[in-house]
Amino acid sequence: MKAKAKAKATDPQKRSEDALRLNAICPYYTMFPLDFPLEHLAAKPDATRVLDPFCGRGTTLYAARLAGLPSVGIDINPVAAAIAQAKLTKVTPGAVVRLARQILNSDRLDEVPEGEFWHWCYEEQTLREIVTLRKNLMAMDTPTAAMLRAILLGILHGPRNKGLPSYLSNQMPRTYASKPAYAVKFWKARGMDPVRISALDVIARRANYLLRSTPIPQGGRVYLGDSVETLREIRNKFDLVVTSPPYYGMRTYVADQWLRSWFLGGLPEVPYNSSGQIARQPNQEAFIRALAEVWAATAQRCHRGARLAIRFGALPSARKDPKRLVVDSLHQANAGWIVKEVRPAGTSPKQARQAEQFGKAGSAVEEIDVVAELNSRRPNSQNR
Ligand SMILES: C[S@@+](CC[C@H](N)C(=O)[O-])C[C@H]1O[C@@H](n2cnc3c(N)ncnc32)[C@H](O)[C@@H]1O
């Protein structure tokens, strides 16, 4: 049964396109395409539980669910954890809409943020609805609330389209939130006043589209926290790890998602502190050491013979060789990971490169895929 489910999920001919929709609930910077984890699930047919210690929007977790396997994801960014959470959840569109309506009819309101940005970004009543949904959802942790929260993160900002609106904001990219001063200048220069958009209508359309045919949930969990600390606490054992650490030189994961971070309870401004982010290491050696710690902690939670697939990149401005960074970190981990394969990302016929999804800025990023296997001899296991 499991083998059948895996074959169906990993074979593009056999899988249903409707079942893939939930994966696109909200974009996330440097997310990898679903085909990347699906390819490694197909290459490890005896896998029983999957891990992603830098799970981002939960692409690996969703691939595992499609393949009929439980999974665990860890991410230090609350936006990532909230999106990933939805990938493990099954709720009906009706339940999501009912919860949204119930919240919007409640009188639990919150202060509306003030200032030019907010005035231009959202029409007054739309902003009041967003604030009400934000305040109420912050106190809820049911699966329906998790799904509604992730849907709202996905519709909070994006382009203004011609037909029925898909996003609640004035014109903005959907992948990242513009900085306030830039956005206000943009809207003012074009005389683009925000228009009234009913949050409930957009939520209902989105829920009906995304949740029409979701795969059976397979269990698992998303942890919000540092991967090394979390891996030391969990008890599960894994045989497949598919992951993508923060790209070297990329320091804007949190700042670029400032509006979504605000929605989850952050301050109504661009945060300059992103503590715990591995990409914030002061230099290359520190970055390699930090990654090595993750691979060592991962090995402790893996069975012998486990497969580790890593997609990694470095921004051109960092002038670093991504292959060297990953391979050195695996060696420095001294945990039994044997490098089996290194190739440019996306050279497998089915795969698009991760950076391609981000247009011009991303296309210069050099990306590689590295596959390692956990050797039966684990050199430093006596020290732990
Ligand atoms: C390249 S992204 C992962 C994208 C993911 N593969 C996807 O498809 O969405 C790297 C992630 O690592 C997370 N991260 C950075 N430092 C971390 C840490 N110390 N512990 C856990 N996650 C961390 C970032 O927040 C970011 O979401």
**Torsion over CA: 302, 304, 309, 314 (sign):** positive
Residue 311, SS3?
Answer: strand
d(CA 142, CA 161) in angstroms, rounded, equals 32
Q: Hey, which residues does 366 pair with through a beta bridge?
A: 314
Are 63 and 41 spatial neighbours (Cβ–Cβ below 8 Å)?
yes
Last residue of a domain, one of 191, 210, 229: 210
Does the CB atom of residue 31 touch ligand 1 within 6 A? yes
Phi-psi region of 40 (alpha: psi -120 to 50; beta: other; left: phi over 0): alpha
Last residue of a domain, one of 177, 210, 243: 210
Q: How far is CA 301 from CA 19, 64, 172, 218, in A?
A: 30, 18, 41, 20
Same domain, 238 and 364: yes
Are 378 and 325 spatial neighbours (Cβ–Cβ below 8 Å)?
no
Same domain, 61 and 120: no
Same domain, 11 and 111: no
Long-range contacts of 348-351 (CB under 8 A, 24+ apart): 348/35, 348/39, 350/12, 350/35, 350/39, 351/33, 351/35, 351/36, 351/39
Same domain, 52 and 98: no
- Does a structural domain hold residue 166? yes
Distance 211 CA to ligand 1 centre (A): 25
Same domain, 343 and 224: yes
Same domain, 111 and 140: yes
Range of the structural domain that residue 105 is part of: 93-210
Same domain, 200 and 325: no
Q: What is the pLDDT of residue 211?
A: 96
Residue 83, pLDDT above cutoff 90: yes
Band the pLDDT of 29: cuts 50, 70, 90. confident
- Does a structural domain hold residue 384? no
Does the CB atom of residue 344 touch ligand 1 within 6 A? no
Atom in ligand 1 nearest the alpha carbon of residue 52: 6
Chain mean pLDDT for the chain: 89
Q: What is the pLDDT of residue 358?
A: 43
Q: State the amino acid at position 280 in one-letter form.
A: R
d(CA 36, CA 32) in angstroms, rounded, equals 7
User: pTM for the whole thing?
Assistant: 0.92
- Does a structural domain hold residue 334? yes
Does the CB atom of residue 253 touch ligand 1 within 6 A? yes
Torsion over CA of 165, 152, 89 and 78, rounded to 10 degrees? 140
Domain count, the chain: 2
- Does a structural domain hold residue 303? yes
Same domain, 236 and 360: yes
Residue 223, pLDDT above cutoff 70: yes
Does the CB atom of residue 133 touch ligand 1 within 6 A? no
Does the CB atom of residue 277 touch ligand 1 within 6 A? yes
Same domain, 62 and 104: no
- Does a structural domain hold residue 201? yes
Atom in ligand 1 nearest the alpha carbon of residue 28: 9
- Does a structural domain hold residue 272? yes
* Structure confidence by residue, pLDDT tens digits, 43-80: 999 999 999 999 999 999 999 999 999 999 999 999 99
Q: Whose CA is nearest to atom 8 of ligand 1?
A: 31
Last residue of a domain, one of 178, 210, 242: 210
**Residue to substitute in 20, 32, 54 for testing ligand 1 pocket (most ligand atoms within 8 angstroms of CB):** 54
- Does a structural domain hold residue 86? no
Does the CB atom of residue 226 touch ligand 1 within 6 A? yes
Q: What is the pLDDT of residue 361?
A: 42
Same domain, 131 and 247: no
Same domain, 36 and 162: no
Distance 3 CA to ligand 1 centre (A): 29
Does the CB atom of residue 227 touch ligand 1 within 6 A? yes
d(CA 169, CA 327) in angstroms, rounded, equals 43
Same domain, 251 and 353: yes
Q: Which two three-digit tokens encode residue 21?
A: 């929709």
d(CA 258, CA 337) in angstroms, rounded, equals 36
* Structure confidence by residue, pLDDT tens digits, 323-363: 999 999 999 999 999 999 999 986 544 445 455 444 434 44
- Does a structural domain hold residue 85? no
* Structure confidence by residue, pLDDT tens digits, 144-176: 999 999 999 999 999 998 899 999 999 999 999
* Structure confidence by residue, pLDDT tens digits, 234-291: 999 999 999 999 988 777 777 889 999 999 999 888 876 666 777 777 788 999 999 9
Please report, for the domain that includes residue 337, its CATH number.
3.40.50.150
